[in-house]
Amino acid sequence: MTQPDNIILVSPWIACAIIGLIITWPLYLLCKKRWYPTSSNDRDTTPPDWSTAPGSAEEKRPSFFHTWDPRFKIATLFAFCFVVVSLDALDTCLAALLISILAVFFSHTPWIRVQKRLVALSGFLTMFLVIMPFTSPAVEQETILLFPLLPTLPFHMYGLLTAVLICLKACSVALLMEPMFGTSSLTISLQALQQIGVPSPIIQMLLLTHRFIYLFQQEAHRMHRSMKLRGFSPKTNMATMCITGNFLGMLFIRSYERTQHVYEAMLSRGYNGIFPIYTQHRISAKDIAITGAWLITGLALLLFDAPAQALWL
């Protein structure tokens, strides 16, 4: 076994403080929720318009992300995401996160969408942050923290570094996706993808599936409401699982029964296997300039990352 360079004994007080924080933080969040309950009475009771899927409206304040040719935008940012995930050094990852934050800021993305993305990531990333430092194998020249009462579980700083890098990369890609797909409507984004070279059946599937998700969500809500009215409350038992199975069965049968109607309705409106594209984009010098700037940023990140990679291996 390789000997680590530094072993730091963490004082019991600091350990107590960390454990206290870990315990009180979720409690604080719970209490906050209970103290400021969102009243169910003042919610919007007007039925939503299901003919248009939410999230497809364009933002009010245009930014250079909105005017950027969607084909260039998606291709460039997609490539940039791959650059970000291939980074290996702490400073380049921090730079990537900073770039993503700036991109979100300049694209006028609503904070709630960014928050949703980060909350969705948090579970997976917390798992890494908690588990990796304790389970990472020992490497040479690293610092180990030894907590009191946990002598068999050394806290590896190398493992923590790996976990932090993963978090930084995941957050920067998640943030970048908002300017990438949130600044033009889904239809335009998908048409851009088709023009880039994604096969048209996939684009059609995406558009149609997106259209029907909201319909079935509403249907599921309706079924769930009637289940609750009849006294259904989910627990960890056999009955809940069987009821859920029946619920899913009903949902699938309704969707299946709809398939034929949908197909016939589409045929009667002249569907012949292709969705026509009406929007035409003309490539301007500005598009190329922005694309070039992004690509140079990506290359710079890769270049600055290379020495760090050499150092690690």
Partner 1 sequence: MHIADGVLPTSIIFTTYALSSAGIAYSLRKINPDDLPKIAVVTASFFVASLIHLPLGPTSVHLLLPGLMGILLGPAAAFLSVAVGLVLQSILFQFGGLTALGANSMMIGVPAVLCGFFFLRFQGTTLRSNVAGAAIAGGLGTLLAALILAGLLYTSGENFLRVAQLALVAHIPVVLIEAVVSAAAVSFIFRVKPEMLNWSRTLVCTNDAAR
Q: Per CB under 8 A, which of residues 17..46 are in contact with partner 1?
A: none
Of residues 260 through 299, those in contact with partner 1 by CB under 8 A are 260, 262-263, 266, 271, 273
Rounded-to-integer distance, Cα 241 and Cα 140, Å:
50
Residues in 224-243 at the binding interface with partner 1, rule: CB under 8 A: 234-236, 238, 240-243
Which of 196, 248, 293, 299 is the binder for partner 1 (CB under 8 A)? 248
- One of 254, 277, 308, 309 touching partner 1 (CB under 8 A): 254
Nearer to partner 1, 52 or 86 (CB): 86
Q: Which residues in 116-135 contact partner 1 (CB under 8 A)?
A: 116-117, 120-121, 124-125, 127-128, 131-132, 135
Closest listed residue to residue 100, CA positions, set 118, 88, 123, 124: 118
Q: By three-state DSSP, how is residue 300 classified?
A: helix
Closest residue by Cα to residue 106 from 72, 73, 61: 61
Q: In the complex, what is the shortest distance from the CB of residue 144 to partner 1, in angstroms, rounded to a whole number?
A: 14
Q: Is residue 150 within the footprint of partner 1 (CB under 8 A)?
A: no
| Residues touching partner 1, count (CB under 8 A) | 83
Which residue has tokens 């335009």?
188
Closest separation between CB of residue 104 and partner 1, Å?
A: 13
Q: Is 306 helix (H, G, I), strand (E, B) or coil?
A: helix
What is the distance between the alpha carbons of residues 28 and 164, in angstroms, rounded to a whole number?
A: 24
**Angle in degrees, CA 222, 249, 123, rounded to 5:** 75
- Closest C-alpha among 88, 294, 73 to residue 178: 73
Cα 175 to Cα 31: distance, rounded to the nearest angstrom: 29
Quote the tokens at residue 295: 């690509």
Query: 46 to 85, contacts with partner 1 by CB under 8 A?
Result: 55, 78, 81-82, 84-85
CB of 282 to partner 1, least distance (A): 25
- Regarding 256 and contact with partner 1 (CB under 8 A), the answer is yes
Q: Of the two residues 42 and 122, which places its CB atom closer to partner 1 in the complex?
A: 122
Cβ proximity to partner 1: between 23 and 289 the closer is 23
One residue of 75, 181, 194, 291 binding partner 1 per CB under 8 A: 181
Q: In which element (H, E) is residue 130 found?
A: helix 111-135
- Cβ nearer to partner 1, comparing 266 with 283: 266
**Distance, CA of 189 to CA of 210 (rounded, Å):** 13
From the list 19-27, 39-47, 142-150, 199-207, the region that binds partner 1 by CB under 8 A is 199-207
Binding flag, residue 250, partner 1 (CB under 8 A)? yes
306 binds partner 1 (CB under 8 A): no
224: helix, strand or coil: helix
d(CA 38, CA 156): 42
The least CB distance from residue 113 to partner 1, in Å, is 7
Q: Which two tokens stand for residue 126?
A: 């917390």
